[in-house]
Amino acid sequence: MAENVLSYVCGTSDEALTFSTLGSALKKTCETWPDHEALVSCHQNVRLTYAALAARADDFAAGLIALGLPRGARVGIWSPNNVEWVITLFAAAKAGLILVNVNPAYRLFELEYALNKVECAALITARSFKSSDYLKMLVDLAPELATARPGALRATRLPHLTTLIVIDADLHPGTFRFDDIPKLATPECRLALAAIESSLQPDDPVNIQFTSGTTGMPKGATLSHFNLLNNGYFVGQSMRFTAQDRLCIPVPLYHCFGMVMGVLTCVTHGATMVFPSDAFDPEMVLRAVAHERCSALHGVPTMFIAELDHPDFFQHDLSNLRTGIMAGAPCPVEIMKRVFSEMHMSEVTIAYGMTETSPVSFQSNPDDPLERRVSTIGRVHPHVEVKIIDIEGQVVVRGTPGELCTRGYSVMRGYWGDEARTREAIDVAGWMHTGDLAVIDEDGYCNIVGRVKDMIIRGGENVYPREIEEFLFRHPKINDVAAFGVPDVRFGEQVAVWVKLRDGLASSEQEIQEFCRGQIAHYKVPHYVHFVAEFPMTVTGKIQKFVMREAMIEMLALEIPQTA
């Protein structure tokens, strides 16, 4: 390759993008594979064919219209993984409503913010989840529920919310039961549904997903039918998906990993989606994979680590596994190798993306050389452009780190009700600035080396946390590790790591540092080593390094250097 080739790639494909809506896609799949098993919910003991799923979605959509929800209204769903979540996804899309994915881990303040930010008219909610009593929280926010007529809530703190639908057998004051909604539909509602469906456009907004909000308040990424369907399809193509595949989905549906790379990947290929439990449980995942003869498994690295290290791991027959996706956080090379060898996932892929890009923009391929598959995020997705830029916004040459920017069909319509933050993220040329530091090599393979904000600058040297983490994963005692920067008066920043050891093992700061010396540059050797039982995590399995950083500053009473 000629010298100074720029870090710009564009994904090509013999397959064109599909200009369709979610409802039309489900209808097409149903016509092709009506009797094929579409969905298995192990914890609910429910199985639905594609014909049954489509019928349930139609019935619920007509019921939503009976409630008087107008086209374009925002409908929230606050629930762990279940059949009702999937039905709601397609029903809302068919009825011309915009589904708002509410994080199951949200508490009062976050829930109030999310519902009011996008002016939710209705909320479909579970009764409770883990330690969260959803109904109690809603009554705390809207005490008017106690005397409200179902569908006619008028709450001071939730002024836009009129309708609450509870996924529960019991009837609660001021609410509807999920299973009663289809019964509200009249023949006129079904005619209205057909008219709405025929007028929907693929570019219409269909979904709002809130970003993690590690700094500042969460932003509502607004996504279209076109965004989501095409991304789900091409994710499946990279895994060589067919209607014979059965995908185990332990990742949450409220997140793009579960909803797009799980549900929509299956629907666009006629494959079967298998939900092992309402929330991640390694034992339930292993049991579901074995019992349902799953050929594919999704997860973030921490999930795969928990499965591999489960004491009963070798008691489960995982021999039917072939593929799946590890994504959502940097994927340690050593864990990838174990997934290959111990879980039989010879065609497992790595995927990279972000909520704002529907989400995937890079993915590895089963044909890629083994070393590339375990050490990179693969190559650019079809119909997607990517460039790597420096701090001045100039495209860098191949092999040089810089910020990853992406453009194409997958880029969101914008942040709901926030033009200023949309303009900060998407520039005038249509490039989405991801905030991730990446390198593209001469063959087009990409590596994420950190976050622009996470990069450690120690004494003028740029240090990428991912590089330190990959090295430390080679230590035989280390189960998981996270590297980040903490303030230092002399060097500006120092490298700190949090280490989670394998069960029953002990280590010391000195042992970890000695393991690094002579193997990586001196300025990358961790100055601080802290041993923990668990990491602070988001519900999607992303490690919250800002929480670690704050904890270390307080623990060590570190002085924050003054800047001009």
First to last CA, the chain: 44
Residue 517 lies in a domain: yes
Q: Are residues 61 and 183 in the same domain?
A: yes
* 425 & 506 share domain: no
Residues 113-144 have pLDDT tens digits of: 899 999 999 999 999 998 889 999 999 999 99
Portion of the chain with pLDDT greater than 70, in percent: 97
Per-residue pLDDT of 336-381, as tens digits, reads: 889 999 999 999 999 999 999 999 999 999 999 888 988 899 999 9
Percent of the chain exceeding pLDDT 90 equals: 82
**Is residue 54 left, alpha or beta, with left meaning phi > 0 and alpha meaning psi from -120 to 50?**
alpha
The answer to whether position 426 is within a domain reads yes
The pLDDT value recorded for residue 563 is 37
Contact present, 467 and 530 (Cβ < 8 Å):
no
pLDDT attached to residue 564: 31
pLDDT, position 289? 98
**Residue 411: domain span:** 1-17+380-453
What are the structure tokens assigned to 8, written together? Answer: 């710009």
Rounded to two decimals, the pTM is 0.86
Report the DSSP beta bridge partners of residue 248: 274, 297
Domain boundary among 152, 185, 209: 209
Mean pLDDT of 11-15: 97
- Looking at the structure, do residues 109 and 201 belong to the same domain, yes or no? yes
pLDDT at 318 exceeding the cut of 80: yes
- Report yes or no: 74 and 97 within 8 Å, Cβ to Cβ: yes
pLDDT at 2: 53
The H or E element that residue 210 is part of is: strand 205-210
* Final residue before a domain boundary, out of 148, 182, 209: 209
Q: Are 516 and 472 in contact (CB under 8 A)?
A: yes
Q: Are residues 144 and 189 in the same domain?
A: yes
Q: Residue 336 domain-assigned?
A: no
Which pLDDT value is given to residue 407?
98
* In 46-177, beta strands by DSSP E: 46-49, 74-78, 98-101, 120-126, 163-167, 176-177
Residue 292 CB coordination number (10 Å): 18
Specify the pLDDT at position 561.
62
Q: What is the mean pLDDT of residues 148-154?
A: 98
Between residues 462 and 4, which one has the greater pLDDT?
Answer: 4
Strand-strand pairing, 8-10 and 384-389: antiparallel
Nearest Cα neighbor of 148 from 73, 128, 65, 158 is 158
Query: Taking residues 138-151, what's their average pLDDT?
Result: 97
563 vs 264, residue with greater confidence? 264
Q: Which of 328, 336, 373 is nearest to 355 (CA)?
A: 328
DSSP state of 337: H
Q: Give tens-digit pLDDT for 389-400.
A: 998 999 999 999
DSSP code for 517: B
pLDDT at residue 177 tops 90: yes
Long-range contacts of residues 145-151, Cβ cutoff 8 Å, at least 24 apart: 145/173, 145/174, 145/175, 146/173, 146/174, 147/173, 147/174, 148/173, 148/174, 149/174, 150/174, 150/175, 150/176, 151/67, 151/68, 151/176
List, for residues 403-420, the tens digit of each pLDDT value. 999 999 999 999 999 999
At 216 the pLDDT is 55
Q: Place 488 in a pLDDT band, splitting at 50, 70 and 90.
A: confident
88 pLDDT more than 50:
yes
On whether residue 339 sits in a domain, the answer given is no
Kindly state whether residues 55 and 195 are assigned to the same domain: yes
H helices of 33-77, in order, are 50-66
Per DSSP, the three-state class of 283 is helix
What would the pLDDT profile of 511-542 be if each residue is shown by its tens digit? 999 999 988 878 899 999 999 999 998 766 77
What is the CA 24 to chain-centroid distance, rounded? 24
Residues 143 and 82 in one domain: yes
Confirm whether 196 is domain-assigned: yes
Tally of CB atoms within 10 A around 470? 20
Decide: 204 and 116 in contact? Cβ < 8 Å.
Answer: no
Q: CATH code at 2?
A: 2.30.38.10
16-30, 95-109, 150-164: which range is least confident on average? 95-109
Nearest to 121 by CA among 155, 80, 83: 155
Q: Has residue 61 been placed in a domain?
A: yes
Q: Calculate the CA 383 to chain-centre distance.
A: 21
Going by pLDDT thresholds of 50, 70 and 90, the confidence category of residue 271 is very high
Last residue of a domain, one of 209, 239, 266: 209
Question: How far apart are the C-alpha atoms of 229 and 241, rounded to whole Å?
Answer: 15
Residue pair 298/323 in contact (Cβ under 8 Å)? The answer is no
Query: Which string of DSSP letters, residue by residue, matches 345-410?
Result: -TT-EEEEE-GGGSSEEEE--TTS-HHHHHHS--EEPTTEEEEEE-TTSPBPBTT--EEEEEEETT
Mean pLDDT across the stretch 152-161?
A: 98
Is residue 350 within 8 A of residue 322, CB to CB? The reply is no
Residue 190 lies in a domain: yes
**How confident is the model at residue 451, as a pLDDT?**
75
The structural domain count of the chain equals: 3
CATH number assigned to the domain comprising residue 504: 3.30.300.30
- pLDDT band at 54; cut points 50, 70, 90: very high
Q: Which of 46-55, 149-158, 548-557 has the lowest mean pLDDT?
A: 548-557
* CATH number of 130's domain: 3.40.50.980
On average, the pLDDT of the chain sits at 93
Whether residue 449 is found in the same domain as residue 465? no
Instruction: Tell me: do 397 and 486 sit in the same domain.
Output: no
pLDDT of amino acid 215: 43
Residues 391 and 508 in one domain: no
Task: Give the SS3 label for residue 25.
Answer: helix
In DSSP terms, 126 is beta-bridged to: 167
Residue 546: burial class (beta carbons within 10 Å; 0-12, 13-18, 19+): middle
If asked whether residues 411 and 460 sit together in one domain, one would say no
Query: Does 214 or 49 have the greater pLDDT score?
Result: 49
